[in-house]
């Protein structure tokens, strides 16, 4: 199984290559990708340099162009696809049907991966896009159980890629307007969720209060591990009880299922976190590389503690991969 | 209207789990009293709820048809298990009622035959609409988070498709494999005891500082506010929107539909309709921020009220 | 990950003016060696960043576009767009990208207030510079650069071995 690693900057791209990535994914510095954060991402020249460096080291470059084209401004997305092709990307990761159609027509030789933002949660949906646009790989949504991943792998007529570590969407990806409801900025249209521009932390007595737009998302008593005010991971009141209504602050960690994923024939394992720092990328990639090598050698190599320290709330979850989570 | 079409009204699928008597009463009234052209039936939120009204849907569909309404059957919004995939296949195989696709496997199953696309399919631009139209989509309800500028561009770029807009109701904002509603009541999805039925208008989710924010509806997360585009109907008509979708809430939907009909026909001033709408649904706060490209929970252009 | 007590005691009597000189010289070197910093900062380069070393009781105020840093004692800053506070070691290791800012923030080793976008932009821009402070600052010392670099590197190793178990 290939290890697919995130890179938010050219520096972290190099770190990921060095730490043992088989492929690195990244995006342009605009709203064409779902990590459109300040100071992050690549211009066309940086991408060309990164892809050249990757190729020299036997590593692939995947370019995420995975937001939905803003009506009337489609050119920006089309140019992103053109630029990825020119830069020597090995594949583009796309969600928008109109953009898939463009890429299939204009750049038939450039591999098309279906982004998790396309929310392809069943094999009929996936195979339809294989037939219509020749997608070579699907990144599976984080709403499936391990057994469901297995069932899709058996029937999908393309490769599958599965998230194994990092931030976790509680809602089906690409079909969530919580962020734009609170802030006017959405993952699908702007490439941001719970954007920093609308985040405020405020000290209230001994509590730290996190706010997003006009809404209080959480309150942390002194010394409790804190979290970024991602909407679906906030503390709210419902039915008379206060708590994490959707999900506790935690990161996804399904590394205990590596063996099953390998058995299903999953092609690639993905690490979330283009917005995270170089230290995160280097540590997580090295740790997972080690486990994958262990798996190949028939050894158990586990160290959950290292990865937990890098997680939100310093906790991890298996999310929907573990059916009990539902 | 500017685009030369009479704007139609579509009653969207009931998103909540209502008990059998309320459900039947509601749809009988829809058949007899509600001024809508199209009614979308079916359980699109959670397949576990399917058995509640499966038997009654056929009867109601016939009754609605007899009352002169066009009936569509909605397919599930999230299809991950075989039972849901089977529902999609069965709906796609029917020739009596039009299918409204909740996600793309339903669109694919139609194999080019005419069908509708529901608001939870991501259509953010005209090229995407054309991809769907090339494979049989004849009408598309646009995603609720789209601003008016995008709607204008999409409609202008794909003029052969009948576009619909989510004009009334709490906005379906997200869907999950996990049931936060059951979890809130100390249950897991596999043994949920259908507790979402206890909240026929959604279970309110407030912030720790007491602001109303969201509402739980089983695996779906809704807005706390009720989106109302009633003051925006002239702008929507001008953009070429062909139908307004009204999503059922626990309120006087007969009157809601009547108000939208009156505004669409130019018989009632939008502002006057807005204040009457508040009487139809007194527990609701209204919003139209998405259309105005501001946070969705906001209300823009409400000249009749300070809050 | 606080500084060892003796280091704090050594630094405390240093006049603010002297610290400011060192800080300004450091900033000048970083700016000279990593011009791409500003390309990533974009519009955030005119924000006022207050960087507070909580264990030293010192606040460094930087407006990137002006290329100036000013130092004041105390940890409360009246006028800044963004305030980033943590121990000196945390701040330095963040600057070098040796520590994951998100993880440190989740664990409350770091506090950020004010303009979160500006804070993110600064973090991401710094990350991409691959700062290596002994090399970056040592090069300022002209003919003495090698010994200075070795000295700084030695101090870093010492501090790390005595306080920074999370500095990898």
Q: What string of H, E and C letters represents the secondary structure of B270-306?
A: HHHHHHHHHHHCCCCCEECCCCCCCCCCCCCCCCCCC
Q: Does C18 touch chain A (CB under 8 A)?
A: no
* A196 with C117: Cβ contact below 8 A: yes
Strands B243-246 and B162-175: parallel
In order, the DSSP letters of chain B are -TTSSPPEEEEPPP-S---HHHHHHHHHHHHHH---SEEEES--S-GGGGGGTHHHHHHHHHHHHHTT-EEEEEPPS---SHHHHHHHHHHHH-SSSEEEESSHHHHHHTTTS-EEE-TTS---SHHHHHHHHTTTEEEEEPPTT--HHHHHHHHHH-TTSEEEEEEEEEEEEEEBSS-HHHHHTT--GGG-TTGGGG-TT-EEEEETTS-EEEEEETTEEEEEEEEE-GGGHHHHHHHT--EEEE---SS-HHHHHHHHHHHHTTSS-HHHHHHHHHHHSTTPPEE-TTTTTS-TT-----TT---
Q: State whether A219 and A256 are in the same domain.
A: no
- Distance separating alpha carbons of residues A285 and A17, to the nearest angstrom: 9
Percent of chain C at pLDDT exceeding 90: 27
What's the pLDDT at A194? 93
Running DSSP on this structure, what letter comes out for residue A157?
A: S
Q: State whether A53 and A123 are in the same domain.
A: yes
The 10s digit of each residue's pLDDT in B253-293 is 999 999 999 999 999 999 999 999 999 999 999 999 999 99
Both structure tokens of A37? 């954060």
Domains of chain C: 5-131 (3.30.1050.10)
* C97 with A40: Cβ contact below 8 A: no
- Distance separating alpha carbons of residues C91 and C58, to the nearest angstrom: 12
* Distance of residue B178 Cα from the nearest chain A Cα, in angstroms: 4
The 10s digit of each residue's pLDDT in C86-106 is 998 889 888 888 877 777 777
Running DSSP on this structure, what letter comes out for residue A321?
A: G
Does C15 score more than 90 pLDDT? no
User: Coil, strand, or helix at residue A79?
Assistant: helix
Give A282's contacts in chain C (Cβ within 8 Å).
168
Taking the complete model, does pTM exceed 0.90, yes or no? yes
The 10s digit of each residue's pLDDT in B20-68 is 999 999 999 999 999 999 999 999 999 999 999 998 999 999 999 999 9
What's the pLDDT at C1? 54
Which one of A223, A244, A265 terminates a domain? Answer: A244
Contacts of A83 (CB under 8 A, 6+ apart): A28, A44, A47
Q: What angle do CA A50, C92, A219 make, to 5 degrees?
A: 95
What's the pLDDT at C161? 61
Name beta bridge partners: B74: B100
Give A238's contacts in chain B (Cβ within 8 Å).
180, 184, 203-206, 216
To test the contact with chain C by mutation, choose from A277, A284, A305 the residue with the greatest count of C C-beta atoms within 10 A, namely: A277
Q: Does C44 touch chain A (CB under 8 A)?
A: yes
What's the pLDDT at C164? 41
Mark out the alpha helices in chain A (DSSP H runs): 10-19, 44-56, 74-87, 97-106, 123-133, 146-155, 178-183, 187-190, 258-264, 278-296, 304-309
The 10s digit of each residue's pLDDT in B190-204 is 899 999 999 999 999
The 10s digit of each residue's pLDDT in C101-135 is 777 777 778 888 889 999 999 999 988 988 887 77
What's the pLDDT at A323? 63
What's the pLDDT at C3? 65
Q: State whether A194 and A50 are in the same domain.
A: no
Give C129's contacts in chain A (Cβ within 8 Å).
11
Q: Does C118 touch chain A (CB under 8 A)?
A: yes
* Residue in A with minimal Cα distance to B207: A236
Give C122's contacts in chain A (Cβ within 8 Å).
39
List the domain range (segments joined by +) for residue A275. Answer: 2-168+250-325
- Distance separating alpha carbons of residues B149 and B140, to the nearest angstrom: 17
* Distance of residue B59 Cα from the nearest chain A Cα, in angstroms: 30
Does B1 score more than 60 pLDDT? no
Higher pLDDT, A324 or B128: B128
* B184 with A128: Cβ contact below 8 A: no
What's the pLDDT at C167? 34
Q: Is residue A148 part of a domain?
A: yes
Chain center to CA of A308: 18
Q: Which of B180, B204, B294 sits opposite A246 (nearest CB)?
A: B180
Each as own residue / partner, the long-range contacts of residues A182-185 (CB below 8 Å, 24 or more positions apart, any chain) are A182/A212, A182/A213, A182/A214, A182/A215, A182/A231, A182/B213, A182/B295, A182/B296, A182/B297, A183/A212, A183/A213, A183/B295, A184/A213, A184/B289, A184/B293, A184/B294, A184/B295, A184/B296
Q: Which of C119, C122, C127 sits opposite A11 (nearest CB)?
A: C127
Q: Does C168 touch chain A (CB under 8 A)?
A: yes
Both structure tokens of A211? 């706010």
The 10s digit of each residue's pLDDT in B231-253 is 999 999 999 999 999 999 999 99
* C116 with A314: Cβ contact below 8 A: no
Q: State whether A75 and A145 are in the same domain.
A: yes
What's the pLDDT at B3? 47
Q: State whether A182 and A156 are in the same domain.
A: no
User: Coil, strand, or helix at residue A59?
Assistant: coil
What's the pLDDT at B304? 34
* Distance of residue A169 Cα from the nearest chain B Cα, in angstroms: 9
What's the pLDDT at B224? 98
Q: Which of C100, C120, C125 sits opposite A310 (nearest CB)?
A: C100
Report the domain count for chain A. Answer: 2
Mean pLDDT of chain B: 95
* A227 with C106: Cβ contact below 8 A: yes
What's the pLDDT at C163? 46
Does B107 score more than 60 pLDDT? yes
- Distance separating alpha carbons of residues A76 and C144, to the nearest angstrom: 50
Q: Is residue A173 part of a domain?
A: no
What's the pLDDT at C6? 67
Each as own residue / partner, the long-range contacts of residues C16-20 (CB below 8 Å, 24 or more positions apart, any chain) are C16/C58, C16/C71, C16/C72, C16/C73, C19/C58, C19/C71, C20/C69, C20/C70, C20/C71
Give A197's contacts in chain C (Cβ within 8 Å).
116-117
Q: Which of C94, C108, C111 sits opposite A225 (nearest CB)?
A: C108
Size of interface A-C (CB pairs under 8 A): 103
* Distance of residue A26 Cα from the nearest chain B Cα, in angstroms: 23
* B177 with A184: Cβ contact below 8 A: no
Q: How confident is the model at residue C56 (pLDDT cuts 50, 70, 90)?
A: confident
Q: State whether A232 and A314 are in the same domain.
A: no
Q: Does A225 touch chain C (CB under 8 A)?
A: yes
Q: Which of A101, A176, A238 sits opposite B205 (nearest CB)?
A: A238
Contacts of B160 (CB under 8 A, 6+ apart): B133
Q: What is the pLDDT along chain A (326 residues), one digit of tens a residue?
A: 999 999 999 999 999 999 999 999 999 999 999 999 999 999 999 999 999 999 999 999 999 999 999 999 999 999 999 999 999 999 999 999 999 999 999 999 999 999 999 999 999 999 999 999 999 999 999 888 899 999 999 999 999 999 999 888 889 999 999 999 999 999 999 999 999 999 988 889 999 899 999 999 999 998 887 778 899 999 999 999 999 999 877 778 888 889 999 999 999 999 999 988 888 888 899 989 999 998 888 887 766 666 777 766 666 777 776 766 66
Q: Which of C41, C100, C117 sits opposite A276 (nearest CB)?
A: C100
The 10s digit of each residue's pLDDT in B5-28 is 799 999 999 999 999 999 999 999
Q: Which of B80, B149, B183 sits opposite A144 (nearest CB)?
A: B80
Q: Which of A68, A124, A324 sits opposite B122 (nearest CB)?
A: A68
What's the pLDDT at B111? 97
Q: How confident is the model at residue B303 (pLDDT cuts 50, 70, 90)?
A: very low
What's the pLDDT at C168? 28
- Distance separating alpha carbons of residues B195 and B206, to the nearest angstrom: 19
Chains C and B touch (3+ CB pairs under 8 A): no
Higher pLDDT, C152 or A200: A200
For chain B, domain boundaries: 8-287
Q: Does B178 touch chain A (CB under 8 A)?
A: yes
To test the contact with chain B by mutation, choose from A71, A122, A198 the residue with the greatest count of B C-beta atoms within 10 A, namely: A71
* Distance of residue A28 Cα from the nearest chain C Cα, in angstroms: 12
What's the pLDDT at C105? 76
Q: Are A205 and A237 in contact (CB under 8 A)?
A: no
Which of the residue ranges A43-52, B71-80, B212-221, C77-86 would you say has the lowest mean pLDDT?
Answer: C77-86
- Distance separating alpha carbons of residues B204 and B187, to the nearest angstrom: 18
Report phi then psi at A104, rounded to 5. -65, -35
* A183 with B184: Cβ contact below 8 A: no
Q: Quick one: B8-287 is in which CATH superfamily?
A: Aldolase class I (3.20.20.70)
- Distance separating alpha carbons of residues B178 and B9, to the nearest angstrom: 33
Rg (Cα) of chain C, in Å, rounded? 15
* A279 with C100: Cβ contact below 8 A: yes
Q: Does C125 touch chain A (CB under 8 A)?
A: yes
Q: Which of A9, A38, A283 sits opposite C44 (nearest CB)?
A: A38
| DSSP H/E element including A137 | strand A137-139
Q: Which of B126, B174, B295 sits opposite A171 (nearest CB)?
A: B174
* Residue in A with minimal Cα distance to C129: A11
User: Coil, strand, or helix at residue A91?
Assistant: strand
To test the contact with chain B by mutation, choose from A129, A177, A199, A321 the residue with the greatest count of B C-beta atoms within 10 A, namely: A177
């Amino acid at each position: 199984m290939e290890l697919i690693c995130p890179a938010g900057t050219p520096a972290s791209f190099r770190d990921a290559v060095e730490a043992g990535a088989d492929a690195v994914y990244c995006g342009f510095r605009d709203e064409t990708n779902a990590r459109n954060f300040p100071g992050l991402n690549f211009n066309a020249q940086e991408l060309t340099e990164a892809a050249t460096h990757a190729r020299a080291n036997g590593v692939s470059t995947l370019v995420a162009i995975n937001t939905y084209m803003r009506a009337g401004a489609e050119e920006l997305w089309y140019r992103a696809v053109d630029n990825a092709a020119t830069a020597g990307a090995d594949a583009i990761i796309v969600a928008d049907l109109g953009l898939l159609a463009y890429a299939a027509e204009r750049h038939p030789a450039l591999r098309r991966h279906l982004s998790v933002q396309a929310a392809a949660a069943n094999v009929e949906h996936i195979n339809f896009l294989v037939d219509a646009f020749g997608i070579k790989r699907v990144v599976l949504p984080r709403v499936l159980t391990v057994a469901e991943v297995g069932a899709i792998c058996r029937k999908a007529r393309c490769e599958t890629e599965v998230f194994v570590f990092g931030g976790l969407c509680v809602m089906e990806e690409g079909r969530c307007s919580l962020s734009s409801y609170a802030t006017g900025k959405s993952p699908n249209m702007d490439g941001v969720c719970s954007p920093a521009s609308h985040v405020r932390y405020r000290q209230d007595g001994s509590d730290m209060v996190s706010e997003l737009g006009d809404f209080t998302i959480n309150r942390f008593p002194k010394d409790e591990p804190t979290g970024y005010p991602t909407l679906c991971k906030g503390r709210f009141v419902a039915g008379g009880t206060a708590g994490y209504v959707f999900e506790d602050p935690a990161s996804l960690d399904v590394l205990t299922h590596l063996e099953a994923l390998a058995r299903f024939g999953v092609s690639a394992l993905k690490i979330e976190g283009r917005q995270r720092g170089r230290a995160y990328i280097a540590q997580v990639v090295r740790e997972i590389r080690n486990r994958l090598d262990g798996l190949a050698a028939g050894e158990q190599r586990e160290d959950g503690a290292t990865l937990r320290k890098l997680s939100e709330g310093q906790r991890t979850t298996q999310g929907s991969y573990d059916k009990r989570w539902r | 209207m500017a685009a030369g079409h009479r704007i139609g009204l579509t009653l969207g699928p009931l998103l909540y789990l209502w008990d059998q008597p309320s459900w039947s009463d509601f749809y009988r009234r829809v058949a007899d009293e509600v001024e809508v052209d199209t009614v979308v039936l079916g359980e699109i939120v959670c397949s576990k709820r399917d058995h509640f009204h499966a038997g009654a849907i056929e009867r109601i569909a016939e009754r609605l048809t007899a009352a002169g309404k066009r009936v569509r059957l909605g397919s599930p919004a999230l299809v991950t298990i075989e039972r849901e995939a089977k529902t999609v296949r069965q709906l796609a195989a029917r020739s009596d009622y039009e299918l409204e696709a909740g996600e793309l496997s339903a669109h694919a199953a139609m194999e080019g035959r005419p069908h509708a696309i529901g608001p939870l399919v991501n259509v953010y631009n005209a090229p995407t609409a054309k991809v769907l139209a090339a494979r049989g989509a004849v009408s598309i309800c646009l995603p609720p988070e789209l601003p008016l500028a995008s709607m204008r561009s999409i409609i202008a770029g794909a003029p052969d498709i009948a576009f619909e807009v989510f004009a009334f109701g709490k906005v379906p904002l997200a869907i999950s494999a996990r049931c936060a509603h059951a979890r809130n009541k100390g249950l897991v999805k596999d043994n949920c005891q259908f507790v979402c039925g206890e909240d026929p208008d959604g279970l309110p989710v407030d912030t720790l500082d007491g602001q109303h924010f969201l509402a739980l509806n089983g695996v779906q997360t809704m807005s706390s506010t009720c989106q109302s585009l009633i003051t925006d109907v002239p702008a929507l008509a001008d953009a070429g929107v062909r139908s307004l979708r009204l999503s059922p809430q626990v309120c006087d939907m007969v009157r809601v539909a009547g108000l939208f009909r009156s505004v669409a026909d130019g018989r009632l001033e939008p502002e006057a309709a807005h204040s009457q709408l508040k009487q139809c649904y007194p527990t609701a706060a209204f919003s139209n921020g998405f259309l105005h490209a501001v946070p969705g929970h906001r209300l823009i252009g409400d000249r009749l009220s300070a809050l | 990950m606080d500084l060892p007590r003796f280091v704090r005691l050594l630094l405390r009597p240093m006049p603010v003016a002297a610290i400011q000189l060192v800080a300004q010289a450091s900033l000048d070197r970083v700016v000279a060696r990593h011009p791409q910093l500003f390309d990533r900062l974009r519009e955030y380069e005119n924000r006022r960043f207050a960087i507070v070393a909580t264990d030293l009781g010192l606040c460094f105020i930087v407006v990137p576009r002006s290329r100036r840093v000013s130092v004041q004692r105390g940890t409360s800053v009246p006028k800044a767009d963004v305030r980033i506070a943590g121990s000196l070691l945390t701040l330095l290791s963040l600057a070098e990208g040796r520590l994951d800012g998100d993880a440190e923030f989740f664990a409350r080793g770091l506090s950020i207030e004010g303009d979160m976008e500006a804070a993110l932009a600064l973090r991401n821009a710094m990350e991409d510079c691959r700062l290596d402070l002994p090399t970056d600052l040592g090069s300022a010392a002209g003919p003495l650069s090698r010994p200075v670099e070795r000295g700084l590197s030695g101090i870093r190793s010492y501090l790390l071995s005595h306080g920074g178990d999370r500095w990898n």
